[in-house]
Chain A
Amino acid sequence: MQNYLLSISIWTPIVLGLVLLCSNQTSQRFSRYFALSAGLISFGVTWPIAMRFDLQSQLFQFQEFFHWILPYRINYHLGVDGFSVPLILLTSFMTLLVIFSTQKSDIKNLPHYHAAFLIMSGLMIGVFCALDAILYYIFWEAMLIPMFLIIGIWGGPNRIYATIKFFLYTVLGSLLMLVAFIYLYLNTGSFSIFDFYQLPIALPAQILIFLSFFMAFAVKIPMWPVHTWLPDAHVEAPTAGSVILAAIMLKLGGYSFLRFAMPIAPDATWLLKPIIIALSLIAIVYIALIALVQKDMKKLIAYSSISHMGFVTLGIFMLSPLAVEGGYMQMISHGFISAALFFCVGIIYDQTHTRQIDQYGGVINSMPFFAAFAVFFAMANSGLPGTSGFVGEFMVIMGAMKEGFWIAFIAALTLLFGAAYSLWMVKRVFYGTPLNKTMESLKDIDSIQWLTLGSLAILILVVGLFPSIITDFTNVTVDSFIHLMNRSKLPIL
């Protein structure tokens, strides 16, 4: 039985985005409403995936299968499991939010800007759905083009350097992944990931395959030491670009580890696990320390993202159900929190045109509601119990405890450092006496911003208080993932 839920979710935003791109942009009002309704529709069509998803099934659901490029047996094969569904919803929701939040802004070429986000959203959903390696690869690469343009056209002063660095860094990794895919294809005769899962591979080959996947995904996440593109990209990207980058693009790396690198090369994963855990811990601690000394708010949040994504890799590479689930939880939670923080920086930057922390002070006097939101998000970022930030970190630390006390200890340091850099930033920016005239004349958030930040705050709280709405999706999938991971793929001699 085929229904086309996934194809609809992928192609609706892309088609609407293309229409918006090509439409005659004489009427500003019209194209704004069009973009907003396109975002709403795209969000709407992803809902049935979650609603009709069978939580108890281990299989991939809503599968669609067509032969596409026959000579190479490349198929248009889609399907979702518990790892994909929450991320698909996150993607379509964030895209809607981004379009909504820029409704009234005076960004040049706004329809094109919205179109880029819509197209990108479809492509990212495609990445989460693809069950054929080449289809996946095509979505994965194609997604870079809109982001490249978003940073390059609408970014800050140093945008060109940042966007080219972003592009080349990411492509470097993915090209090696392509070589790995071709290698696997030649051994299985198809590009289906199910066949990849079944293929026995000798250990040296597994290690090379794992490393080439690792290059692709570690850059995306990003893990230390291939993270350096991220602060540049974030600082130069426009607010909405940063939001999507942090909330979804980074998740693609984590998701792809779970979907490709680890189940395809399980023995190599077990072998290299200590190294990855070490890298994650370095990211968690060292990057948090770097975040502590940042003078630029966006850079601080960018480094905080890397540090939090270290938790994700730590969790999923611990290979125990609790930790993997925690790592996944952390991905979702980080999607909300980092997006909220980038929105906050964007809101305040639009008024003051500076992101330097020392240029601020006493913002709370003129923007009390905004300050309330910002403080809440900063708290969530540092892992306040009751917010979603806490759940993931707690689960990962629990998982780490089983692995070894010191791993858990080092990981837990982030609660300390996270609180330090988040709250210190809040203190310097929001509290104290107003620094100058600009600080006194700031306008508080309007209704659009209220709604944007409010919805994120609610989501952070809901996920924090009822984590089961996410874990219900992932429970079964995590079990089958662990099952895949505990099965050696070494050829039987």
Chain B
Amino acid sequence: MMNLAININALIPEIIIATSAMLVLLLGLFVKDKNNHLIYGVSQITLLLAAMLVAHSGFGPTYRVFNDMHIIDPAGNFLKLLSFIATSFVFLYSRSYLRKKQLLNGEYFSLTLFALLGIMLMISGANLLMIYLGLELLSLSLYALIALNRDNLDATEAAMKYFVLGALASGLMLYGMSMIYGLTGSLDLQVIATHLAEMNLDPSIMAFGLVFIVVGIAFKFGAVPFQMWVPDIYHGAALPMTMMISSMPKFASVALAARLLFQGLEPLAVDWQQMLLIMAILSMILGNITAIAQDNIKRMLAYSTISHVGFMFFGMMSGTINGLSSTFFYVACYALMTLAAFGAIITLSQKNKDFDQLNDYKGLSQRNPMMALMIMIIMLSLAGIPPTIGFYAKFSVLQSAIEVGMVWPAVIAVLMALIGMFYYLRIIKLMYFDSPSSLQKIHFSGDLLFILGINSFSLILLGLSPKLLMSLAALAVGLSF
């Protein structure tokens, strides 16, 4: 048994985030601050502080605390750090947009930090109960965040849809967990794994439990055939919320899949590999083909997310450490790209009009060459064209799949990536080859442009030296699984 002091120390990042979430809520209520500089500052500093603490434990030893409920390991630290970075970017991008829409208040920051707390708990969950609690904390915060824009019909509808479908998925997952619990008599992932491997258990119940858990995971990712909520919610929610949903929770989903499938249900790998493979291929096909038909860029990016999820599943499908680390790398790259993509839309959006129709982008290169260049880089990266980071993401996933002999699925994957290139290129086409429908000046703030600049050029810089991120992902996974 560990002593209590060590237990508390291990949880300090979580405690900081939780405290700050509540503090920000109170500050928002009681401190008169028109531009909310204070709560913004507090949130960002909290993130920095927590990130420093997590980075400090870094690639240290793996250990479990609170009666093996909570696990600290390099893979978890890696994902947590990425979540902090993503959250920080979300705050940076969203601030001015939310201020324009009068949504920038204590609740926003508080809920986001609670969502982050949920993500952290999921990442560190070593017990089905903890994972489920983290998942619910994350989901409930997200429902509320989307509904924050309560005067907007679309947003309210999106929140309602997300809530109903999310609750259903949580229910399914819980049902699966209960079956596994019934079989093995434990909620602890390690114990479950040993029991599943050693005892002679009823295979049909095992399969039932597994299917429900995989369905829950697939729903949280938004993989086909559980993708129905993705386009509507991306479309309906306000831009900063969409940005958040598309970036931060993906880390939690990857962690969820890694913990449940690679740790708890590892003995059933043969079964879930097939499920993941089918869902991966279907997601790539449906996501890429349907995205072509969209005329709203948020919906287009929603379908693009589905196809990227297909690639993440494709990495995990191999069931190897290499495959998992390629998925970790993929999700990191994906988050950077999607943050940049939504960041660009937010930057361009005007006070009374979102820049979310594809036709808005017509002739952007003539209206603002710098923005057009950055969006081009983002689109090329999403399409996976070298020398951007998006290429290496796809490359490492394909590599891990071919390694286990999945050559033909890899061929399907590259063909789907090819189809996907079409709609990314279409944005470039609109920006560069078409003439603008209006020459009206686009107003945006310089600091947003600066952040977007850093974000989008990092896609190229990381593409020129992907070694660092790749090695980190490989090391984190290698040390933990």
B429 contacts A152, C-beta separation under 8 Å = yes
Asked whether any CB of chain A lies closer than 8 Å to the CB of B418, the reply is yes
Chain B residues, CB < 8 A from A69: 392, 465-467, 470
Chain B residues, CB < 8 A from A149: 428, 432
B residues 369-384 with Cβ under 8 Å of A?
380
Residue from the list B380, B402, B417, B467 in contact with A182, Cβ < 8 A: B402
> In the complex, A318 Cα to B466 Cα: how many Å?
41
B422 contacts A168, C-beta separation under 8 Å = yes
Which residue of B has the minimal Cβ distance to A172?
Answer: B418
Which residue of B has the minimal Cβ distance to A153?
Answer: B432
Chain A residues, CB < 8 A from B466: 69
Asked whether any CB of chain B lies closer than 8 Å to the CB of A71, the reply is yes
Chain B residues, CB < 8 A from A141: 385-386, 391
B471 contacts A71, C-beta separation under 8 Å = yes
Residue from the list A137, A148, A160, A176 in contact with B386, Cβ < 8 A: A137
A185 contacts B391, C-beta separation under 8 Å = no
Chain A residues, CB < 8 A from B417: 175
- Smallest Cβ distance from B75 to chain A, in angstroms? 16
> In the complex, A41 Cα to B384 Cα: how many Å?
32
Asked whether any CB of chain B lies closer than 8 Å to the CB of A68, the reply is yes
Chain A residues, CB < 8 A from B385: 141-142, 144-145, 171
A182 contacts B398, C-beta separation under 8 Å = yes
Asked whether any CB of chain B lies closer than 8 Å to the CB of A424, the reply is no
> In the complex, A14 Cα to B380 Cα: how many Å?
18
B429 contacts A145, C-beta separation under 8 Å = no
What secondary structure prevails in chain B residues at the interface with A? helix
Chain A residues, CB < 8 A from B428: 148-149, 152
Residue from the list B380, B418, B433 in contact with A152, Cβ < 8 A: B433
A residues 167-188 with Cβ under 8 Å of B?
167-168, 171-172, 175-176, 178-179, 182-183, 185-186
Which residue of A has the minimal Cβ distance to B392?
Answer: A69
Contact status of A176 and B411, CB under 8 A, knowing A70-B471, A148-B425, A185-B399? yes
A residues 139-168 with Cβ under 8 Å of B?
141-142, 144-145, 148-149, 152-153, 159-160, 163-164, 167-168
- Smallest Cβ distance from B403 to chain A, in angstroms? 5
Chain A residues, CB < 8 A from B386: 137-138, 141-142
- Smallest Cβ distance from B436 to chain A, in angstroms? 14
Which residue of A has the minimal Cβ distance to B385?
Answer: A141
> In the complex, A163 Cα to B432 Cα: how many Å?
12
Contact status of A167 and B425, CB under 8 A, knowing A179-B411, A182-B399? yes
Residue from the list A153, A167, A168, A175 in contact with B414, Cβ < 8 A: A175
> In the complex, A72 Cα to B325 Cα: how many Å?
13
Chain B residues, CB < 8 A from A71: 467, 470-471, 474
Chain B residues, CB < 8 A from A182: 395, 398-399, 402, 410
Chain A residues, CB < 8 A from B418: 168, 171-172, 175
Asked whether any CB of chain A lies closer than 8 Å to the CB of B338, the reply is no
Which residue of B has the minimal Cβ distance to A140?
Answer: B386
> In the complex, A149 Cα to B392 Cα: how many Å?
23
Chain B residues, CB < 8 A from A185: 399
> In the complex, A185 Cα to B395 Cα: how many Å?
12
B residues 422-481 with Cβ under 8 Å of A?
422, 425-426, 428-429, 432-433, 465-467, 470-471, 474
A residues 272-310 with Cβ under 8 Å of B?
none
Give the size of the chain A interface in residues (CB under 8 angstroms): 32
Residue among B386, B395, B398, B414 having the largest count of chain A Cβ atoms under 10 Å:
B386
B410 contacts A179, C-beta separation under 8 Å = yes
A167 contacts B421, C-beta separation under 8 Å = yes
Chain B residues, CB < 8 A from A72: 395-396, 399, 470
A159 contacts B433, C-beta separation under 8 Å = yes
Give the size of the chain B interface in residues (CB under 8 angstroms): 33
Which residue of B has the minimal Cβ distance to A169?
Answer: B418
Asked whether any CB of chain A lies closer than 8 Å to the CB of B387, the reply is yes
- Smallest Cβ distance from B15 to chain A, in angstroms? 35
Which residue of A has the minimal Cβ distance to B419?
Answer: A168
- Smallest Cβ distance from B435 to chain A, in angstroms? 11
Chain A residues, CB < 8 A from B467: 68-71
Asked whether any CB of chain A lies closer than 8 Å to the CB of B52, the reply is no
> In the complex, A138 Cα to B384 Cα: how many Å?
11
Chain B residues, CB < 8 A from A152: 428-429, 432-433
A178 contacts B398, C-beta separation under 8 Å = yes
Chain A residues, CB < 8 A from B16: none
Chain B residues, CB < 8 A from A134: 395
- Smallest Cβ distance from A477 to chain B, in angstroms? 28
Contact status of A164 and B425, CB under 8 A, knowing A172-B418, A183-B407? yes
B391 contacts A179, C-beta separation under 8 Å = no
> In the complex, A182 Cα to B406 Cα: how many Å?
12
A175 contacts B415, C-beta separation under 8 Å = yes
> In the complex, A182 Cα to B425 Cα: how many Å?
25
A178 contacts B395, C-beta separation under 8 Å = yes
Contact status of A171 and B396, CB under 8 A, knowing A138-B386, A152-B429, A186-B403? no
Which residue of B has the minimal Cβ distance to A69?
Answer: B467
> In the complex, A171 Cα to B387 Cα: how many Å?
14
> In the complex, A180 Cα to B403 Cα: how many Å?
12
> In the complex, A378 Cα to B218 Cα: how many Å?
63
Chain A residues, CB < 8 A from B411: 176, 179
B433 contacts A179, C-beta separation under 8 Å = no
Residue among B392, B433, B467 having the largest count of chain A Cβ atoms under 10 Å:
B433
> In the complex, A141 Cα to B383 Cα: how many Å?
12
Chain A residues, CB < 8 A from B403: 186
Chain A residues, CB < 8 A from B471: 70-71
A145 contacts B380, C-beta separation under 8 Å = yes
B residues 130-144 with Cβ under 8 Å of A?
none
> In the complex, A178 Cα to B414 Cα: how many Å?
9
- Smallest Cβ distance from B288 to chain A, in angstroms? 13
> In the complex, A176 Cα to B392 Cα: how many Å?
16
0/1 per residue, B257-274, Cβ < 8 Å to A?
000000000000000000
B470 contacts A164, C-beta separation under 8 Å = no
Chain A residues, CB < 8 A from B421: 167-168, 171
> In the complex, A226 Cα to B230 Cα: how many Å?
38
Chain B residues, CB < 8 A from A179: 398, 402, 407, 410-411, 414
> In the complex, A294 Cα to B339 Cα: how many Å?
50
> In the complex, A175 Cα to B385 Cα: how many Å?
10
Which residue of B has the minimal Cβ distance to A155?
Answer: B433
Chain A residues, CB < 8 A from B422: 164, 168
Contact status of A138 and B387, CB under 8 A, knowing A153-B432, A175-B418? yes
> In the complex, A71 Cα to B322 Cα: how many Å?
11
A residues 99-149 with Cβ under 8 Å of B?
134, 137-138, 141-142, 144-145, 148-149
Which residue of A has the minimal Cβ distance to B426?
Answer: A164
- Smallest Cβ distance from A248 to chain B, in angstroms? 19
- Smallest Cβ distance from B461 to chain A, in angstroms? 14
> In the complex, A70 Cα to B471 Cα: how many Å?
8
Which residue of A has the minimal Cβ distance to B474?
Answer: A71
A176 contacts B414, C-beta separation under 8 Å = yes
Which residue of A has the minimal Cβ distance to B396?
Answer: A72
> In the complex, A34 Cα to B470 Cα: how many Å?
39
Chain A residues, CB < 8 A from B407: 179, 183
A183 contacts B402, C-beta separation under 8 Å = yes
Residues of A bordering B, CB below 8 Å: 68-72, 134, 137-138, 141-142, 144-145, 148-149, 152-153, 159-160, 163-164, 167-168, 171-172, 175-176, 178-179, 182-183, 185-186
Known A142-B387, A164-B422; 16 more pairs at CB < 8 Å: A69-B470, A71-B467, A137-B386, A138-B387, A138-B391, A148-B428, A149-B428, A152-B432, A160-B433, A163-B433, A171-B418, A171-B421, A175-B418, A179-B398, A182-B395, A186-B402
Supply 5 A–B pairs (Cβ within 8 Å), ascending by A. Answer: A72-B395, A141-B391, A142-B385, A152-B432, A186-B403
Residues of B bordering A, CB below 8 Å: 380, 385-387, 391-392, 395-396, 398-399, 402-403, 407, 410-411, 414-415, 417-418, 421-422, 425-426, 428-429, 432-433, 465-467, 470-471, 474
Question: What 6 A-B pairs are tightest by C-beta distance, nearest first?
Answer: A175-B414, A138-B386, A152-B433, A141-B386, A182-B402, A71-B470
